Structure 1
Amino acid sequence: MPEPDLVEALCDVTGATVAYDLRDDQGRAMDTLKVIADPAGGYLAVYHCGVGRGRFDVHVATSPDLARWAWRARLDELASQPHIVAMPDGGFLVALEAGGAGTPPWVRVLDYAGRDDLLAGAAARRFDAPHTLVPRRKHAEGTPNIYAATPDRSRIDIGFHYWRRGRVDRQARGVLTGFADWSTRREPRIDAALEHWGVRGNIGGRDAFTWKGREYLLIEGQTEPGGWHTWRTYLYDVAAQTAWPLPIRTHGGSAAIANPAVTLLEGPRPTLVVTAYLFHAGAADGEGGPMLYHRPLS
């Protein structure tokens, strides 16, 4: 079992500072946002917003306080599910799901030389990953996260999902070498850990973090194929290769909580930041859409 204080910190939304239906200063819903510290002070977030049926664009915003978000740039069109990491040289890597609106998605990686380039939406280079686990003309590979990257970006470790046999999303991992060569493998142990809890629908987005020296994932799973109201969030222990459903408690009792991301902000007052998407099919009044909650850590 994971440490009780970790489970409580992740699950007690009512005891944290929370924003439901989070939007930037231009009114865009900040769906599937990932938050990191801004090296210039405050915070950065990447997120997507719908622009039509089955179509999304990816954006970046800044915030001084995790509550007010100022839109800064569109990073990509016809793209979704972004994830961002800061690099030691002041640059940034963004991984996202490219495609949509009838085109089977794929993983795309964007490399930004510095903060100004990120906030201008000016990537220095882009890599579009070929499909390796399913046929590109039929099935999706997407919803990436960046596990790790070498300082020179010569090796980037990326998680993603693939549409197994055209029925359900399952977990995979890829390595981008030299920003040119892409190799992948399936992650059946993660799948099995969630299937143990009755997850028969999709297993999708994930985010990695370390708590007291132990590696975990937050990961979404859907108990019923096609059942939007059955999305749940799970905690996966990497070393033990086991998972547990997280009984996340919102003010209204929303149940369908997915697209999780977590950031542990360092500093004089360490802070846990969690983001998720509350599907309207299982959301309480006023809680549907993107959610962000944070709490200080003792």
Structure 2
Amino acid sequence: MHGSSDGSLDRGDKHQAACSRCADLRTWTRRHDFGAGTSQPALAADDTGGYVLAYEKDPANHIALRHYPSLAALLTGNAARTFEAPRTLSRCAEGTPDITSVHGERVELTGHYRADCDTDRQLRAVLRDFTTWQATPDHRLDRALLAWGTGGNIGDRSRIELKGESLVLIEAQRRRGDFGSWRTYAYDPASGRAGQVAIRTPGGSRAFANPSAGLVTDPEGRPALLVSLFVPKEESAPGESGELIYWRELAN
């Protein structure tokens, strides 16, 4: 999930992305669906009071984007512009977008592509004027995760800025085809290094995927870091599989 507690996106539905609102960060109300075959949405504010939405879309698994001129337009699904990104790095799949910046008519984002139609690897992309798309492999990020012995997919990620420094939470699969081997890592773009995040749940679940993070205002009115993850049933503790969401207050 990316966004704020005022207008947020639910990343948990694999088949249909939805716009939701929440006041207490626990009880979510669905406001708008973006259509069948949409998933893994990422939301970012532009510099004019509007929003850019990027998401994964089927059929022909690819990245799509929409621009909304206001929060009201976002919550009602009234997009002013749309763009369907061509697959240029893989003939099989490109998806899990994360918007890293929106400046004027330039949108920068990251994603994954199915390298050789076999294993998911990382990409960087730029959309200009909602008409021109350019994507390139992010080999530096791939190498940082491969150094941890990840033999499977390297997929979804979420970039966050804390105290002026960038950090990327990213999922990687230790063994191909093994959903219980998904782990979450923290990648430092400045150094090009990654480290595994030690996530603890009450029951002791071990597998975590689809990380997402954002800065929000918590129910007490204080700044907080909000993180959501998907807990696969494989390697999950009883009753803990599914969506995991938590937040931590930040010092002023």
Please name the residue that 1:125 is paired with. Answer: 81
Instruction: Give the alignment's Cα RMSD to 1 decimal.
Output: 1.5
Work out whether 1:61 is the aligned partner of 2:29: no
Question: Is the Cα–Cα contact under 8 Å of residues 62 and 85 in structure 2 kept in the other structure?
Answer: yes
The answer to whether the 8 A contact 2:12-2:230 is kept is: no
Q: CA deviation at 1:117?
A: 1.2
- The answer to whether the aligner puts 1:143 opposite 2:89 as a matched pair is no
TM-score scaled by length of structure 1? 0.80
Normalised to the residue count of structure 2, the TM-score between the two structures is 0.94
Q: Retained in 2: the 8 A contact 1:48–1:82?
A: no
Secondary structure of 1:282's counterpart equals coil
CA deviation digits over 1:57-109, x for unaligned, max 9? Answer: 1111101110111111112321111111122322111100000xxx4410000
Secondary structure, aligned partner of 1:36? coil
Aligned to 2:65: 109
Aligned to 2:2: 34
1:176 equivalent to 2:127? Answer: yes
The letter of the residue matching 2:129 is G
Relative CO higher for 1 or 2, CA cutoff 8 Å, sep ≥ 6? 1
**Deviations, residues 105-146 of structure 1 (Å, cap 9, x unaligned):** 1000011111111111121121000011112xxx10001000
Give the partner amino acid of 1:107: I
Structure 1 unmatched ranges of 5 or more: 1-32, 51-55
Query: What is the CA deviation profile of residues 34-61 of structure 1, one whole-angstrom value per residue up to 9, with x for unaligned ones?
Result: 34242xxxx52333525xxxxx111111
Residues 46 and 83 of structure 1 are in contact (CA less than 8 Å); yes or no, is this contact kept in structure 2? no
State yes or no: 1:189 paired with 2:140: yes
Q: Which residue of 1 aligns with 2:172?
A: 221
**How far is 1:239 from its partner?**
0.4
Contact 1:60-1:74 within 8 A present in 2 as well: yes
- Give 3-state SS (helix, strand or coil) of 1:275's partner: strand
Length, aligned pairs only: 249
User: Hey, what does 2:199 align to over in structure 1?
Assistant: 248
CA shift at 1:251, angstroms?
A: 0.8
Alignment partners' CA distance in 2, 1:104 and 1:232:
27
Could you tell me how far apart the structure 2 residues matched to 1:47 and 1:215 are?
A: 22
Asked whether 1:272 is paired with 2:225, we answer yes
Unaligned runs of 5+ in 2: none
Aligned to 1:293: 246
- Please tell me whether residue 283 in structure 1 is matched to residue 239 in structure 2: no
Match of 1:87 among 12, 25, 46: 46
**1:58, 1:285 → 2: CA distance?**
27
Question: Partners of 2:48 and 2:145 in 1: how far apart?
Answer: 37
